[in-house]
Structure 1
Amino acid sequence: MVQDVTLVDGAGSGPAAARIPPAPLGRNRDFLLLWSGASMSFLANRVTTVAYPLIVLWHTGSPLAMSVVSTAALLPLLLVQLPAGALVDRWDRRRLMLVCELGRVAAVGSVALALAAGRVTVAHLAAVAFTEASLAVFYRLAERGAVRNIVHPAHLSTALSRNEARGRAAGLLGQPGGVLLQSAGRWVPFGFGVLGYLVSAVSLLLIRKDFQQERDPTAGRGRMAGEIAEGMRWLWRQRFLRAAFAYVAGTNVLFQMLALALILRVKEAGLPSATLAIVLGIGGVGGLCGALVGGWVQRRARQRTLLIAGAVAWAVLIGAMGFTREPVLLGALYAGTGFVGAVFNVAAAVYQVRTTPDALQGRVAAAAGLVGSGTNALGSFAGGLLLAAWGALPTVRAIAIAMAVLALLAAVAPDLKGELPDDGTDTDAVG
């Protein structure tokens, strides 16, 4: 069955609307409201996420308690994504995002009040960390699906590029910001979180456009498992997407290993711990730059070309990390990997949003997210084994070789030769 991938713009939907010359994206009031509100939401989440382990360690002095709270914040990536995708496709996106923001205001606000009163517990922090992360999953899936209904089709790649840059900037500012705010007052990061989520909620109320296409109210109301399976079946029938996400899963395993290897690389070289902050900071700047140009690159290169070229670039950059311990050079190489990763994230997001029917956006994005995050634990485990057996330098070089193998596999994979134009559907989706 050929899927409907008609895009939506502010003037209506369908091919006629798509031919209307769009106003500049910078004059799209609704997108600016959505983008700025989501920026505050993402920044608030980054600040509170880094504050949880600091607060636990300060109150208990127990690394185990810190691990419990950190694990609670990661569990929604595995447990919540698939049902969240189905529910996002069932419910009104704007209302759902509002509920998420108000729910996070209540949850994070309870931590701020408990800290101010000196009555916080590990169980309370773990419950709030899980709740906040779960609501973040719902919010992110709904917001991604909403974007293509807020902007003109010609602006979709630019809009998603700015969204990627927003996430990278939130990480750069939020992690040190959370540490600084926590040092000013234990409750302050969570007070900032409340403010950020409130600003986001207000911005949602001010947006005029609908966040989704008109839907049949009687459709898609079966059993949850059936709805989840529908989204996964659709994704599986897309030859290019399923091959690309398998490739992404492989690269994510390698990057989880690389993150651990860099830490050990700094330690084995006898460098101060602050060196790692320098390396990661420079790397974050590279990711931000890649996000800013990602839309431009996506419009000028095929997806398959980006996949193969990205893997080759990663192999070269990671390989070079195995031959230097100079902090600035390590940071520059890590920035290069972040640049390539951000460009690829933008291109992948544009392709997935454009080719996925609006009614399946949540489920397909959730399945894709599960593939990406689901391999993280495997990468960390495998990385620990290799580092224990080989040490940092041989592990980094092995990662580079594995990345080169992925590039070779991508070059010969027949399914990666079947990418679609913006208005196409996958040939494997017929049946």
Structure 2
Amino acid sequence: MTAAAPVSEPVPLSRNRGYRLLWGGQALSEFGFHATAIAFPLLVLALTGSGAASGLVMGTVAAAQLVTGLPAGVLVDRYDRKAIMLGCEAAQAAAALSLVVAVWSGAAAVWHMVVVAAVFGASAALFEPAESASLPALVADEQLPTAVAMNTARASMGQLAGTATGGFLFAVGRFVPFLVDTVTHTLSFVALLFVRLPRRERPAGGAGPLVGEALAGLRWVWREPRIRVTVLCAVVLNLFFSAFYLVVIVVAESRGVPSGEVGVMAAMLGVGGVLGALTAPVTHRRLGPYGAIVAVFWALAVLAPVTVLVDSGYPIGVLFALMAMFPPAANTAIMTDQLLRTPDELRGRLTSTLVLACGAAGAAGPALGGSLAQLLPGGRAILLCSAGMATAAVLATVSPSLRTLARGHETGRQPVAAD
């Protein structure tokens, strides 16, 4: 008899060269992206004095992300994912550099900024599914929850640091935030050059029509019960939380809360998100996938109506921080399960579908919140949004599909990829 070969332990994430390069490069890239997100409207206002032009430029980023969303997933599944990520970083660096030159020479124009914003939005829509679909090839299956959580922490820290720094950089010079963005995307491009991803087989039968392949991804999402339920619940939650957030801001200002307190209140969402992302691996292990998902729904449903009773911005900020601490663990559970259940040739379309659905709900939420704040007293509008979040919590709690996650956790089984 021959002894069985020992099972090799996966390389820890701290020593996984490919993952560290990807994570570090994107930490820089996201910092630059969020610094320019603050600088963009400031630049438009400084050059034109037009709020409408500022809204046009900022709206272009979101519009480009939405329009590119579904096709992005198809392209990520069809072509080399590393090449797509490199192309996105190169395009953003070139676009930011063109704006640096234009601002420096006094030739900046609104149409130019709209083009740059479109490049930023489309690149973000392409890069996210490419990165998510590449994660299972970079890390072991059992490390995927931690890798997803660390990516969530990176995004929260990039948003918090970039947003806080962007205004300061703009005060130094109007072109400075865009110069910093050029440098960060260039460094990320260089880091990506050294990330090794296994070569993927081209889809059997060649590439089909873009629309047909996008619809195939949507059909996959709809046919998978756990994925379908989590997407629907997340859409409802994002819609009502985005509406709730705007209503709370409107109510706070109507109650005379100083603008400084409102700013601190909003910033606490970022603080809570960072803390939640850093503790997400532990929360995920202790609560299990089902517990982590259900916890975020009930945390928002229970904490949101409390804001009706609070008149000061600082306590509301604490409530915001508590709300923001739970989503990273739920995101870890959802993305881990879905990436492992989805065949590699569909992972790009899976991520793009999730981003598009939740992004559309997040974009529609402020419109809903503005209408509610206009039609109802502030307290009632908050309670109505809370009721919507509670509905999503009930649906997630009683869902038989999501309960299978709890049974898998109790028996110690990891989700397995679909055949």
TM-score range, shorter chain: over 0.9
Query: TM-score with structure 2 length normalisation?
Result: 0.93
Gap change, CA 1:353 and 1:17, over 3 Å in 2: farther
- CA spacing shift, 1:298–1:121, aligned 2, 3 Å: same
Describe the superposition over 1:271-306 as per-residue Cα deviations: whole angstroms up to 9, x where unpaired.
211111111222211111111111222233343333
1:340 to 326, 336, 352: 326
Counterpart for residue 325 of structure 1: 311
Can you list the C-alpha shifts for 1:309-343, whole angstroms capped at 9, x where unaligned?
A: 22221111111111112222111100011111222
The answer as to whether partners of 2:61 and 2:118 remain within 8 angstroms in 1 is yes
Q: 1:31 aligns with which of 8, 12, 19?
A: 19
The alpha carbon displacement at 1:195 in A equals 0.2
> Where does residue 33 of structure 2 map in the other structure?
45
Shift of 1:217: 5.4
Could you tell me how far apart the structure 1 residues matched to 2:22 and 2:173 are?
Answer: 30
Which consecutive unaligned segments of at least 5 residues does structure 1 have?
A: 1-15
Q: Which moved more, 1:323-332 or 1:396-405?
A: 396-405
Q: 2: CA distance between counterparts of 1:188 and 1:215?
A: 43
C-alpha distance in structure 2 between counterparts of 1:319 and 1:203, whole Å: 45
In 2, Cα distance between the equivalents of 1:220 and 1:357? 17
| Counterpart-to-counterpart distance in 2, 1:107 and 1:412 | 48
Secondary structure class of the residue paired with 1:301 = helix
Matches within 5 A, 1:358-369: 358-369=344-355
- CA 1:19/1:83 → structure 2, altered by over 3 Å: closer, same or farther? farther
Could you tell me which amino acid in structure 2 is paired with residue 410 of structure 1? A
Deviations 1:11-30 (Å, cap 9, x if unpaired)? xxxxx999421232111111
Amino acid at match of 2:329: V
Single out whichever of 282-291 and 349-358 deviates more from structure 2: 349-358
The yes-or-no answer on 1:424 pairing with 2:412 is no
1:397 aligns with 2:374: no
Q: Which residue of 2 aligns with 1:64?
A: 52
Cα displacement (A) at 1:31: 1.0
Return the alpha-carbon distance in structure 1 between the equivalents of residues 265 and 96 of structure 2.
31
Shifted more, 280-289 versus 197-206: the winner is: 280-289
Give, as a single letter, the amino acid of the residue that structure 1 aligns with 2:134.
Answer: A
- Quote the residue 1:223 is aligned against: 209
Aligned residues of 2:77 and 2:349 also touching (Cα < 8 A): yes
Aligned pairs (5 A) from 1:29-428: 29-207=17-195, 209-210=196-197, 212=198, 214-216=200-202, 218-419=204-405, 422-424=414-416
Residues 292 and 220 (structure 1 numbering): CA distance in 2 closer, same or farther, change over 3 Å? farther
Shift of 1:412: 2.5
Q: CA deviation at 1:219?
A: 4.2
For residues 274 and 24 of structure 2, what CA distance do their matches in structure 1 show?
17
RMSD: 1.9
The amino acid across from 1:96 in the alignment is I
Shift of 1:388: 0.6
Instruction: Give the distance between the partners of 2:308 and 2:5, measured in 1 at CA.
Output: 52
Partners of 2:150 and 2:277 within 8 A in 1: yes
Structure 1 Cα separation of the partners of residues 136 and 205 of structure 2: 21
Percent identity over the alignment is 31
- Contact 1:89 1:360 survives alignment (8 Å): yes
Query: Are the aligned partners of 1:245 and 1:371 in contact in 2 as well (CA < 8 Å)?
Result: yes
The code of the aligned residue for 1:22 comes to P
Q: Distance in 2 between matches of 1:141 and 1:377?
A: 19
Q: TM-score, normalised by structure 1?
A: 0.91
Give the aligned residue type for 1:297.
T
1:213/1:358 contact within 8 Å kept = no
The structural deviation recorded for 1:220 is: 4.9
1:401 Cα deviation from its structure 2 partner: 2.4
SS at match of 1:80: helix
Distance 2:206 2:402 in 1: 31
Shift of 1:52: 1.1
**Aligned equivalents of 1:67, 1:342: Cα separation in 2:** 29
Distance change (3 Å), C-alpha of 1:119 and 1:18: farther
CA distance in 2, matches of 1:328, 1:85: 41
Q: CA deviation at 1:55?
A: 0.6
| SS of corresponding position for 1:87 | helix
The residue identity in structure 1 corresponding to 2:233 is: Y
Report the AA paired with residue 273 of structure 1: S
Does the Cα contact within 8 Å between 2:145 and 2:336 map onto a contact in 1? Answer: yes
Cα displacement (A) at 1:415:
3.4
Q: Structure 2: state its 5+ residue gaps.
A: none
Give the direction of change, closer, same or farther, for the CA distance of 1:253–1:173 in structure 2 (3 Å limit). same
- Partner AA of 1:105 in structure 2: A
* Partner-residue secondary structure (3-state), 1:300: helix
